[in-house]
Structure 1
Amino acid sequence: MRLPGTRRDLLPLLLSLAVPGPGDAQVRGEVLRLIAPLAHDRFGLYLLALLRRAAEEANPGLRFQAVAAARMTQRRVELEVASPTGSLDLMWGMSSSQRQRELRRVNVRLDQGLLGWRVLVVRADDLARWPADLDVAVVQRRRAGQGLHWPDVAILRDNGYLVQTAADMPTLYEMLQRRHIDYFPRSAMEVTDELANLAPRGVTIVPDLALRYDAGNYVFLGAHREPAAAALESALQLLAARGELKRRFEAAFEPQLRELHLERRRLIELRNTLD
């Protein structure tokens, strides 16, 4: 299977997922609204396709409406999903104890254990400052960039790392370029497409280091959506037991993961203090 590698390749897939399919008009069931992923968001597109497949398996009459939305912080998205009168019904992201208290987690992990593998994006002219044997204490003193309200912020700070935050991804990459932060830890699932589509020129990935902490990516719904959450959970568990979930993930991500050579990197292990 050839993976889409450009914005032009991914946009038709996004449109096909956001528009109801031929059989959807006959379904009289629940419509779950979620933020439409950006055209370069490979994980978001993968997840939309997976949710459609799970709905087919569960046959609960579920449909998914991918809606365009203004930039929201993750906290704003959580509040919209949690509210019975909110503008969104479903989100996905890293699990945390807070999210499990406030939302209904669909208890099937979607990232095959890779969400917590964080490669370091740095300025290319700084690459010599990031050798494989760099002391952990030095990394902790350097300024990491992360998104406002991302669970990763607390994990990094709880492990002794300096973190500066911004509301969105373009701003974080701009902060890196302007030397307001020293590095930007990014998930191995996300970084390749980001560098191709979002990052400014002059940034690169540290080749020999990575951070790692145990973190899982899950779907979350509001507690008032329990029937839909239970149906999705059962269907995703079935797909996982059959091996279909793993096959779909590998088809979507294996080529770019192979490029990162994760097995060769020195890992700096962190504790996940949130889950």
Structure 2
Amino acid sequence: MKKLMVSLTALALSVFSAHAVSNTTIVHPEPRAGSALDLYAIELIEFLAEKSGEPVTLQAFDGQIGSQSRKVEMLKQGKLTIDWLGADRTLESELIPIRYPVFRGLLGHRLFITNQATEPQLAQISSAGDLQSLTMIQGQGWADVKVLNSAGFRVREISSFENIFKVVDTGRADLFPRALIEPFSELAERPQYGNLLVDPHLMLIYRFPMFLFVSPQHADVADMLNGAFEAAYQDGSFIEFFNNAPLVKETFEKANIGERTVIRVDNPHLSNETQAIPDTYWLDIEAQ
């Protein structure tokens, strides 16, 4: 009997140890100040981890990261497990993309953070050509830079996210294009920039998904998230998650989409796989 108890105890410890070892730690970037988008992305990863049924621990990276280019290098090395980034062919070849648009394509619906001096000019603009006389600013290494350059816009890159707001506030650049879901929370977090506002006149649209990108060193995490995302679409829980997200609700309340002049440009920088994503996974903005 004693031998039986010892064997059962050993078995229980073995099962417990296997369970403990199987717990997956997902290291993600610290959310940026005032970025409701970052908080949404982290909540989405938590939602997908729960959907997978696997034991997962989310952990913010402890330390400074810097520009997107730096984050991509850290993903390649496995120092970061995951990040949420705008898609392009280069990123999709270097990292593991989870090809379900995180915001159903809203990342490619752009509003402009601008300053008091530039805003009146935007009321007179009706075409992409009209916008080409103004200077846009983006973060260093952002995939949007290629898209905007391809459309003929004048784009500057800057490594510091916070300094972008300072540059537009002081009039050293005219426009900071932000996804529909970003600018209101970002400006609310930065009342010190009293010269900034969200332009009420325009919306620039191009096909541009945000994906969860996983480090090539953590392919098991990519497999887990792909399975969870597909399951969440099959049972409708992702659409429910998306529609009920405070960020999404607040965006459609504040953006006044129907009152804006829409300017559409092409995005020639998507991979064939991303271009082939079925319409089911994209939001029909006009139906909103």
TM band (smaller chain): 0.7 to 0.9
Instruction: Tell me, yes or no, if structure 1 residue 244 matches structure 2 residue 237.
Output: yes
2:83 maps to 91
Give CA deviations for 1:220-256 in whole Å, capped at 9, x if unaligned: 1122311221111110111122222222222222123
AA matched with 1:81: L
User: TM-score, normalization: structure 1?
Assistant: 0.84
Preserved contact between residue 107 and residue 210 of structure 2 (Cα < 8 Å): yes
Instruction: Tell me, yes or no, if structure 1 residue 273 matches structure 2 residue 258.
Output: no
AA matched with 1:161: F
Give CA deviations for 1:12-63 in whole Å, capped at 9, x if unaligned: xxxxxxxxxxxxx967422121112135221221222221221122123332
Tell me the SS of whatever aligns to 1:164.
Answer: strand
Structure 2 counterpart of 1:234, from 215, 222, 227: 227
Q: CA RMSD in A?
A: 1.9
2:49 maps to 55
Distance in 2 between residues matched to 1:177 and 1:40, nearest whole Å:
17
Distance in 2 between residues matched to 1:202 and 1:44, nearest whole Å:
25
Q: Structure 1 residues 129-138 or 65-74, which shifts more?
A: 129-138
Preserved contact between residue 49 and residue 56 of structure 2 (Cα < 8 Å): yes
2:255 maps to 260
Number of matched pairs: 249
Tell me the SS of whatever aligns to 1:141.
Answer: coil
Distance in 2 between residues matched to 1:198 and 1:170, nearest whole Å:
10
Instruction: Tell me, yes or no, if structure 1 residue 192 matches structure 2 residue 184.
Output: yes
Distance in 2 between residues matched to 1:183 and 1:39, nearest whole Å:
20
Which of the two has higher C-alpha Rg? 2
Residues 1:204 and 1:51: Cα distance change in structure 2 (over 3 Å): same
Displacement of 1:67 after TM fit? 2.2
Preserved contact between residue 126 and residue 261 of structure 2 (Cα < 8 Å): no
Give CA deviations for 1:201-238 in whole Å, capped at 9, x if unaligned: 11112212111100111111122311221111110111
Instruction: Tell me, yes or no, if structure 1 residue 66 matches structure 2 residue 60.
Output: yes
Distance in 2 between residues matched to 1:92 and 1:264, nearest whole Å:
30
AA matched with 1:264: E
Tell me the SS of whatever aligns to 1:201.
Answer: coil
Preserved contact between residue 52 and residue 64 of structure 1 (Cα < 8 Å): yes
| Unaligned residue ranges in structure 1 (runs of 5+) | 1-24
Residues 1:201 and 1:219: Cα distance change in structure 2 (over 3 Å): same
User: TM-score, normalization: structure 2?
Assistant: 0.81
Instruction: Tell me, yes or no, if structure 1 residue 42 matches structure 2 residue 36.
Output: yes
1:17 maps to none
Distance in 2 between residues matched to 1:221 and 1:87, nearest whole Å:
11
Preserved contact between residue 184 and residue 198 of structure 2 (Cα < 8 Å): no
2:202 maps to 209
Instruction: Tell me, yes or no, if structure 1 residue 180 matches structure 2 residue 172.
Output: yes
AA matched with 1:33: V
Instruction: Tell me, yes or no, if structure 1 residue 76 matches structure 2 residue 70.
Output: yes
Preserved contact between residue 132 and residue 266 of structure 1 (Cα < 8 Å): no
AA matched with 1:159: A
Q: Structure 1 residues 199-208 or 157-166, which shifts more?
A: 199-208
Give CA deviations for 1:164-202 in whole Å, capped at 9, x if unaligned: 111122211111122211111111111111110136111
Distance in 1 between residues matched to 2:203 and 2:63, nearest whole Å:
33
Distance in 2 between residues matched to 1:170 and 1:274, nearest whole Å:
27
Preserved contact between residue 24 and residue 56 of structure 2 (Cα < 8 Å): yes
Tell me the SS of whatever aligns to 1:65.
Answer: strand
AA matched with 1:91: D
Tell me the SS of whatever aligns to 1:125.
Answer: coil
Preserved contact between residue 55 and residue 62 of structure 1 (Cα < 8 Å): yes
Instruction: State, as a whole percentage, how many aligned pairs show the same letter.
Output: 21
Tell me the SS of whatever aligns to 1:268.
Answer: strand
Preserved contact between residue 122 and residue 205 of structure 1 (Cα < 8 Å): yes
Instruction: Tell me, yes or no, if structure 1 residue 151 matches structure 2 residue 176.
Output: no
Q: Structure 1 residues 155-164 or 118-127, which shifts more?
A: 118-127
Residues 1:208 and 1:132: Cα distance change in structure 2 (over 3 Å): farther
Tell me the SS of whatever aligns to 1:146.
Answer: strand
Displacement of 1:120 after TM fit? 1.3
Distance in 2 between residues matched to 1:147 and 1:167, nearest whole Å:
6
Residues 1:180 and 1:133: Cα distance change in structure 2 (over 3 Å): closer
| Unaligned residue ranges in structure 2 (runs of 5+) | 1-18, 271-288
Displacement of 1:134 after TM fit? 3.9
